Structure 1
Amino acid sequence: MFAEPPDLDRAALAEALHSGWGLTVATLEYAPVGYGAHHYRVRDTAGVEWFVNVAAGPDPDALERAFGTAAALAEAGLEFVAAPRRRPDGRCLTVMAGGYAVSVTGLIDGVSHGFGDALPEPARAELLAALGRLHAMPVPADTPVDRLIIPHRDELGLHGDELGEPWSDGPYSRRTREIVALRRGFLEELLARYDALVPVVTAARDAWVVTHGEPHPGNVMLPAGGGLRLIDWDTVAVAPPQRDLWMVAPDDSPTTALYRLRWTLTDVCAFVHELRGPHVDDEDARLAWRELSGYLTPAI
């Protein structure tokens, strides 16, 4: 996220890092990168640098299971897994007042990429090899299972004849409601196609494997010393291999079609969720509106 949450107390965050991981903070700097969570760069008093993830309002049990899975995969020998660091009690999260869930990973010195970047071919080949190793791993205990749901789907308001009461909790609410109303038929068509594919994909559940969920270039780091690291393991889940491969080496299977559709629908629903509710006109809201418009406007 690009805007630091105004209600997050940096002193309380420093205390959470100390009580959870024994880190004594020397410097703490907000990092306006990524989407879906807030990030900080931290240097401790020993001079070690850390990357701190602060998720706003997640299901802490689900996030703990995801991060615990990533930690278990790294501990099992997958060196490319940039897993959150465990606390001394074995957990990966500290939940602050206000529902903020804090996790810590080592800062990676290397080359990062944007979501829409093209990976160099050697890095793409290395990513495919890493995913192959991941998909061959035994499933760690308590790994989440992909339920193929689309979060916030009901907030599109497509279940009745009208979209419900006017959305007026923020500066982008009205225009969000208008574009959803205008593209209602298009969204209903995408949802119907998705729903028809779900039973096809679940019929092969016995072949599901451990997947990262979002191995796009924005989640790939190339360390200065060589190799590759996959970051952002909050989406790890047992699922078909195509959940990862549709982004890297897509095929023409129904499973790839489902995950391509779900990416679009999940983004649209997430942006609608953000913009129909209370929000302010900051860079995060402007990004959400640009992305939502990008999904819906070309189809008009």
Structure 2
Amino acid sequence: MIDDAAGQVTGWARTDFGLDLTDLDEVTHGADQHARLWRAHAADGTRYAVKLSGGGTPAGRVVAAHLAAQKVPGVPAPLRTHDGRLYGDHGGHRLSVVPWVSDLRALDGPMTDAHWRAYGELLAAVHAVPVTDELVRLLPPGGAAYPEIVAATRATAERLRAPGPADPAGPPFAELAALWSAMADRVSTLTGAVGRLAADRRDRPVVVCHGDPHLGNLLLGPNGQVWLIDWDDAVLAPPECDLMFVTDGVLAFAPITTGQRAAVLAGYGRVDIEPARLAWFLAVRALDDLTDWTRQALDPDVDAADRARAARIVRGLVSPVGLVTLADAAVRSLDRPD
């Protein structure tokens, strides 16, 4: 169906891409607060992912187009507008379109051994693509915002420790304050490690990394086929920036088993994963997720259901299989003798 909000997008898709869209169904499971995504049907029956972005940069579209042009399997090529661009510009919002390749996310599974192996093969193919001058110009270094992330983490910890008059009383503030207090030692370990290990990430040549290749961004097809979507967080970084998602899992509600990890790495091929770089990327991601989801859980301008979801994610992050726990273990293991 096409509601009032999507009607304008339908017109833009026709003007920019020459697409006659008959139905748009909004997809709401993404985490990007600055974007809306629809599954769209064209008059000829073809399906598309139509995305309207209000933040970030167009670099993700450039990366996806470059990888698709390099014949990297599993990267849907974005459509181009009538004048050859990768998106339409509408008052600071970017409209982009890619083929809708599958309804099945890896999170919803089930993933076969063939899917896990293909996942590794796809990451290896991405990492093997030469880094062009354009990509160097467009893509940030992986984890480059770590000073701001550490500062935001410390500010959030202080806010929860000593709330101001504008902070709400009672739950969820009290619950999150207690949770942060209980994990203060882990947060301190991670913030210290991020600064201490920052130089280690520069000791290895960088490659094109997806930056967020978790199972929510992986789509499944028949016979072990996979596609990696949503390239908005693409960066230039050592491979550990992506590989932490398959060695450690990252998502508390979808931990990676030993067998799954082995299948992914078998597909990826020979790789020397450096523990310090892996720990650094895990720590940066853990602090970023922890702080950002806590902020959303406490933001009165966020819908109540979304605030509750954010609070659940925070609890998952500090659970025994959560990212904060995984990152803390990775950092502490660096100080243990073999």
Same-fold status (TM-score > 0.5)? yes
* Equivalent in the alignment of 1:292: 314
* Equivalent in the alignment of 1:274: 296
* Equivalent in the alignment of 2:52: 54
- Alignment: residue pair count: 284
- Deviation larger for 177-186 or 230-239: 177-186
> How many Å apart are 1:83 and its aligned residue?
3.7
CA distance in 1, matches of 2:10, 2:311: 33
* Equivalent in the alignment of 1:235: 233
Q: TM-score, normalised by structure 1?
A: 0.80
Higher helix share: 2
> How many Å apart are 1:296 and its aligned residue?
3.7
Check whether the contact 1:152–1:270 (CA below 8 A) recurs between aligned residues. no
- Deviation larger for 176-185 or 104-113: 176-185
CA distance in 2, matches of 1:22, 1:28: 16
In structure 2, the CA distance between the partners of 1:91 and 1:128, relative to structure 1 (3 Å rule), is same
> How many Å apart are 1:24 and its aligned residue?
2.2
Task: Deviation per CA, 1:125-163: give whole Å up to 9, x if none.
Answer: 222222222211111413403251246554441586965
Matches within 5 A, 1:36-47: 36=32, 37-47=35-45
**Is 1:146 equivalent to 2:168 in the alignment?**
no
Matches within 5 A, 1:69-80: 69-80=63-74
Q: Unmatched 5+ residue regions in structure 1?
A: 1-5
In structure 2, the CA distance between the partners of 1:158 and 1:268, relative to structure 1 (3 Å rule), is closer
Q: Counterpart amino acid of 1:82?
A: P
Sequence identity, in percent? 21
Q: Counterpart amino acid of 2:20?
A: T
CA distance in 1, matches of 2:162, 2:77: 41
Check whether the contact 1:158–1:188 (CA below 8 A) recurs between aligned residues. no
Task: Deviation per CA, 1:62-120: give whole Å up to 9, x if none.
Answer: 2x1121111111012113112432323333333545x55432211113642118x6742
CA distance in 1, matches of 2:247, 2:174: 39
Q: Counterpart amino acid of 1:232?
A: D
Please, what is the CA RMSD of the aligned residues? 3.2
CA distance in 2, matches of 1:20, 1:269: 38
* Equivalent in the alignment of 2:332: none
Q: TM-score, normalised by structure 2?
A: 0.72
CA distance in 1, matches of 2:279, 2:88: 37
Matches within 5 A, 1:247-266: 247-249=245-247, 251=273, 253-266=275-288
In structure 2, the CA distance between the partners of 1:180 and 1:84, relative to structure 1 (3 Å rule), is farther
- Deviation larger for 192-201 or 273-282: 273-282
Check whether the contact 1:110–1:224 (CA below 8 A) recurs between aligned residues. no
In structure 2, the CA distance between the partners of 1:238 and 1:92, relative to structure 1 (3 Å rule), is same
Report the 3-state secondary structure (helix = DSSP H, G, I; strand = E; otherwise coil) of the residue aligned with 1:9: helix
CA distance in 1, matches of 2:66, 2:290: 32
Q: Unmatched 5+ residue regions in structure 2?
A: 249-272, 326-338
> How many Å apart are 1:200 and its aligned residue?
1.5
CA distance in 1, matches of 2:103, 2:185: 45
Matches within 5 A, 1:120-159: 120-140=112-132, 141-142=134-135, 143-148=138-143, 149-150=145-146, 153-156=150-153, 157=155
Check whether the contact 1:153–1:269 (CA below 8 A) recurs between aligned residues. no
In structure 2, the CA distance between the partners of 1:69 and 1:25, relative to structure 1 (3 Å rule), is same
CA distance in 1, matches of 2:213, 2:190: 23
Check whether the contact 1:271–1:292 (CA below 8 A) recurs between aligned residues. yes
Report the 3-state secondary structure (helix = DSSP H, G, I; strand = E; otherwise coil) of the residue aligned with 1:246: helix
In structure 2, the CA distance between the partners of 1:72 and 1:285, relative to structure 1 (3 Å rule), is same
Task: Deviation per CA, 1:168-216: give whole Å up to 9, x if none.
Answer: 49x8556545644554443232111122111121233xx1111112223
CA distance in 2, matches of 1:84, 1:178: 45
CA distance in 2, matches of 1:92, 1:172: 42
CA distance in 1, matches of 2:22, 2:241: 40
